[in-house]
Structure 1
Amino acid sequence: MDRAGPEDALAAMAHDVESAATALVDLWERTAHAASPRLSSLQLRALTAARLSPGINLTRLAVEVGAGAPAASRLCDRLEAAGLLRRRRNEDDRREVGLVLTTHGHEMVNGLQERRRRALQEVLGNMPSAHRRHLLEGLRSFAEVAETRDD
């Protein structure tokens, strides 16, 4: 007699969530690939981090995007060359350099967010309202727990 335990049930659930989430991830990435200029997911994460924390320093940005400091510096070089990001000296500590989005960078991130919202709205509009509510409740709970994880 072979009974599936709680770990087996969680493994099966993780498999099912992975399969179901593929559609959401695909939609998310397709909208990013339609952006101009076309940016990698790492570049988009860097722009989003700079938008959420204007003046973020390179060390913190590296942590936010999961890259080493040299890689984050090269990433910022490319974003700066594209006119999306600029380095700014900290007024209180001239050795400290903060990163801020340019006007073009803000327009890029805002446009991408708007395209993503429209794409999500289109898909959500074809779902029953009860399923939309359950999806949102589940995603909120997932996000709350995921944010507390130590990677």
Structure 2
Amino acid sequence: MEATATMDRAQPAHDPLDEASRAVADAAEALVDCWNRAGQNSATRLSALQVRALVAVRRVPGANLSRLAEMVGASVPAASRLCDRLEAAGFLRRDRAATDRREIGLSLTKDGADALLSLSERRAEDLRDVLQHMPDEERDALLAGLRAFTRASHPPDSAPPDRAPGR
């Protein structure tokens, strides 16, 4: 009798949400791998953090260093070093704010915007390569599921995330 009780505790009850969350996590890992490979295979090799910083500045032009640090999850000194590298590469510009000369705003250069566009195009190509191996009905189901996931992750009563124009 004791052995049966122990075995019952060792096996958790069937939980469809647990199975779904694990399947989504596996799919997200595959997607992130595909996403990151595109960055490594592009002419401009940017780290994931550098890409996040450029995307953040594109979404919030004129953001100051503190705001950028918050958006990318870095300390202000780390964000400053990150900006130094991106500025040296010609992707980012620091400008004094017109309203407060002590405030520094960040903006993308043309090269920075071009690098993000090139990366975005490469990622879309890589994703297309994967999607072409899926049957049409599974691809349609994936898209419907992703749209539902996006809606569920941003309920109507919550503030929408910062988004780039036209996205």
**TM-score normalised by length of structure 2:** 0.78
Larger Rg: 2
**What corresponds to 2:140 in structure 1?**
133
Q: Which runs of 5+ in 2 are unaligned?
A: 1-7, 159-167
Structure 2 CA distance, aligned partners of 1:97 and 1:39? Answer: 23
**Retained in 1: the 8 A contact 2:91–2:110?**
yes
Structure 2 CA distance, aligned partners of 1:3 and 1:11? Answer: 11
**What corresponds to 2:28 in structure 1?**
21
Percent identity between the two aligned chains: 51
Q: How many matched pairs?
A: 147
**Retained in 1: the 8 A contact 2:58–2:108?**
yes
Poorly superposed stretches of 4+, deviation over 6 Å = none
What do residues 65-112 of structure 1 show as CA deviations (whole Å, max 9, x unaligned)?
Answer: 111111111111111111110101111222221111111111110000
Q: Which runs of 5+ in 1 are unaligned?
A: none
Matched residue of 1:75: which SS?
helix
| Correspondence 1:4 to 2:8 | no
Structure 1 CA distance, aligned partners of 2:85 and 2:38? Answer: 21
* 1:143 to 1:18, Cα distance in 2 relative to 1, 3 A: same
Task: Using the TM superposition, give the Cα deviation of residue 27 of structure 1 relative to its aligned residue in structure 2, in angstroms.
Answer: 0.8
Moved more, 26-35 or 15-24: 15-24
After superposition, the CA RMSD in angstroms is: 2.1
Question: Which residue identity does 2:112 align to in structure 1?
Answer: G
Task: Using the TM superposition, give the Cα deviation of residue 125 of structure 1 relative to its aligned residue in structure 2, in angstroms.
Answer: 2.4
**What corresponds to 2:150 in structure 1?**
143
2:104 to 97, 103, 116: 97
**What corresponds to 1:60 in structure 2?**
67
Question: Which residue identity does 1:26 align to in structure 2?
Answer: D
Task: Using the TM superposition, give the Cα deviation of residue 9 of structure 1 relative to its aligned residue in structure 2, in angstroms.
Answer: 3.1
What do residues 5-62 of structure 1 show as CA deviations (whole Å, max 9, x unaligned)?
Answer: 5xx4322322222223322111101001112332111110000111122212111111
Matched residue of 2:17: which SS?
helix
Question: Which residue identity does 2:19 align to in structure 1?
Answer: A
